[in-house]
Structure 1
Amino acid sequence: MNKKKSLMGAVATLLLAGSVLAGCSSSNTASPTPDGGSENSGASGPQYTFRLADTHPPDYPTVIGDQKFADLVNERTNGRIKIEIFPSGQLGEEKAVLEQVQLGAIEFARTNAAPLAEFNEELSILSLPYIFDNDEHLWRFLEGEMGNKMLDDLEQSRMKGLAYYSSGARSFYSRKPLTSIEDLKGQKFRVQQTKVNIDLIEALGASATPMGYGEVFSALQTGVIDGAENNFPSYYSSNHYQVAKNVILDTHQRTPEVLLISKSAWDKLSEEDKKIVKQAALDSVSTQRESWEKWEKESAEKLKAAGVTITEVTDLKPWQDAVKSVVEKHGSKYQEILDAVDKARQ
C-alpha cells in the first residue's frame, strides 16, 4: 500500500483523534545522570498529553514495555509530557491505528513490524521466513546500523521509529493435528494482512486467510479457519489454545515489534524533548525483553498444563526449502538489507 492510499484510507478515522494539550514555558539546562536522563531534564517547556495504542492486554510484555517508556518520559520531564497507554485494542486494530498515526490522530503506537510493511515495504524483510537463525542473531541486526536505519526510514511514511521490542518466534497452531509440514496442506490459516505472510502460507501448501487479530478467536470457534500462527505468549493470552490445541514449533518468523511516534507529533517536540523520548524508548527495551522471556516460559508451562499438544521440529530444512521462493520474491529488491542480516551472523 503506498503512502497516498494509506492516508486516504485513514481520513475516515479522523473523528477518533484525541487532542494534544500544549503550553509553553522557559527551558533549562541539566547535567546527565547514569540512567540516560538528566537531573532536571526537560523540567520546563510545552506540556503534552499523548496516547499510545497497543492491541495486547495490560499485563502483556509489549504493554509492560509501553508503560516503562511512558513512565521514563514522565519522570524525565517532571510530568510535563504524559503518555497514556490504551491496551487491548481500545483504539483499534494495528492497521487502523497506523493510519491514524500517519495523520497524527494517535501520537504513539506499538505494532508488529509485519503490518508496518504495508506502509514502508522494506520492513517486509523482517518478516521473511528463516532469515534469522535465533534471537541473538535478530538482535545483533536490529541494534546495528541497518536496523536503526530502518526505524529512521519510517519518516517517509509520516512515522518515526523509536525502538524495537521482542516478539519471539512464530509457529503454527490448529484445531487439527500438526505433526509435520505435510499436515499444513489444505488447512486454512489466519495470517497478518501482508503479502509476505500470504505467500508464506501458500508456499507451505496451506490456504491463507488474512484477518485482524481480534477476529481470530471467533473464527477458530466457528471453523472459518483451522488455525493461525503466532508466538506462545500471544497464543496463550488470546485464549486461542482453548479451541486450537495443536502446535508445531517450526519457528518460521522472528518478526520484531516496533514502538513508534507520529511524524507530526515528533515534529512538535523540541530537540531536547526528542532526545528524551528517543532515549526513554531505548531504555524501555530491556524491561520489555525481560518481561518477554518470563512470559514465554510461563506461557509454555501453562499451555502444556492445559493439554496442548506441542510438536518440536527437529529438522527445519524441509520448511526452509519450501519457502525459499518467498525469500527470493520479497528480498530481491533489498539485497543491501539481506547482506546486513547475513553479516549479523558473524
Structure 2
Amino acid sequence: MLTNKTIISNCLKLTAVSGVLAAVSLPAQAEQWRGWNIHPPSYPNSVALESFAEEVAEKTEGRIEPKVYHNGVLGAQPDAIEQTRSGALNFANFNMGPMGPIVPATNILSLPFIFNSTEDMYRIMDGEIGGRFAEALAEKNLVALSWFGSGARSLYNTDHP
C-alpha cells in the first residue's frame, strides 16, 4: 500500500532524475565572442578579421561563435582598447597609435620612416623587438596575435606646412 510519504518520496526522486536527464540532454550553448574593427566590411583588415572569426568557429567546432562588429559601432578605438582589456570585447584589430597612453614604448611605432620597408617592418616586429612590444602589451591585458602594416598614408616634407 502506498502512503503519502512514499508517493512524495517517489515524486521527488522522479523529479530529481528528470532534472538530471534534462540537463544532460540539453545542447551546450556556444560562447559568443565580440570582435571590434574600425573599418568597413570590405577593407582588407576587416576581411582578415572575418577570416579569423571563421577559423575560430571551425577550430572550436562551433563552441565559440565570433562576430565582428565593423565601422567602429562598438565605440571609438580608445574605448574599444579598454573594452578589450576588460574582457567586454574578445578580439580586435588596433592601430598602435592609441596604445601610447597604455604602453608608452609603442609611440615609437608611429614615427615616420621608422622602417625601411614593409618587409623590414615584418622582420623586426616578428622578431625579438616585436616580442618585447607583445610582452609590454600583455602586461596591460592585451595579447598581440600578429602585427600588420597600416600602409603608407601620411606624407611628410620640410618645405610646406
Q: What range is the shorter-chain TM-score in?
A: 0.7 to 0.9
Please give the per-residue CA displacement for 1:89-118, whole angstroms capped at 9, x wherever unaligned. Answer: 111110111111122122211110111122
Partners of 1:148 and 1:120 in 2: how far apart? 14
Partners of 2:112 and 2:155 in 1: how far apart? 13
Partners of 2:142 and 2:51 in 1: how far apart? 21
Q: State which of 92, 110, 114 in structure 2 corresponds to 1:127.
A: 110
Q: What are the equivalent positions in structure 2 for 1:47-86 lying under 5 Å apart?
A: 47-86=30-69
Q: State which of 158, 178, 181 in structure 1 corresponds to 2:141.
A: 158
Contact persistence 1:55–1:94 (CA under 8 A): yes
TM-score, scaled relative to structure 2: 0.76
Give the percent of matched residue pairs that are identical in Structure 1 and Structure 2: 33
- Helix, strand or coil: the match of 1:167? coil
Q: What are the equivalent positions in structure 2 for 1:40-189 lying under 5 Å apart?
A: 47-172=30-155, 181-184=158-161
Shift of 1:59: 0.3
- Helix, strand or coil: the match of 1:84? strand
For structure 1, the residue ranges without an aligned partner over 5 or more in a row are: 1-24, 26-44, 174-179, 185-346
Shift of 1:79: 1.1
Partners of 1:58 and 1:71 in 2: how far apart? 14
- Helix, strand or coil: the match of 2:145? strand
Q: What are the equivalent positions in structure 2 for 1:1-346 lying under 5 Å apart?
A: 47-172=30-155, 181-184=158-161
**Higher RCO structure (Cα 8 Å, ≥6 apart):** 1
Q: Which amino acid aligns with 1:66?
A: L
Please give the per-residue CA displacement for 1:165-207, whole angstroms capped at 9, x wherever unaligned. Answer: 231123249xxxxxx53221xxxxxxxxxxxxxxxxxxxxxxx
- Helix, strand or coil: the match of 1:52? strand
Please give the per-residue CA displacement for 1:130-158, whole angstroms capped at 9, x wherever unaligned. Answer: 22111111111011122133123212112
Partners of 1:122 and 1:46 in 2: how far apart? 41
Aligned residues: 135
Larger strand share, 1 or 2: 1
**Highest CA radius of gyration, 1 or 2?**
2
For structure 2, the residue ranges without an aligned partner over 5 or more in a row are: 1-23
Q: Which amino acid aligns with 1:72?
A: E
Partners of 1:69 and 1:149 in 2: how far apart? 24
Change (3 A) 1:129 1:166: closer
Partners of 1:148 and 1:49 in 2: how far apart? 29
- Helix, strand or coil: the match of 1:170? coil
CA RMSD of aligned residues (A): 2.1
TM-score, scaled relative to structure 1: 0.37
Contact persistence 2:122–2:147 (CA under 8 A): no
Partners of 2:153 and 2:86 in 1: how far apart? 31
Shift of 1:46: 8.3
- Helix, strand or coil: the match of 1:68? helix
Partners of 1:116 and 1:47 in 2: how far apart? 31
Contact persistence 1:151–1:163 (CA under 8 A): no
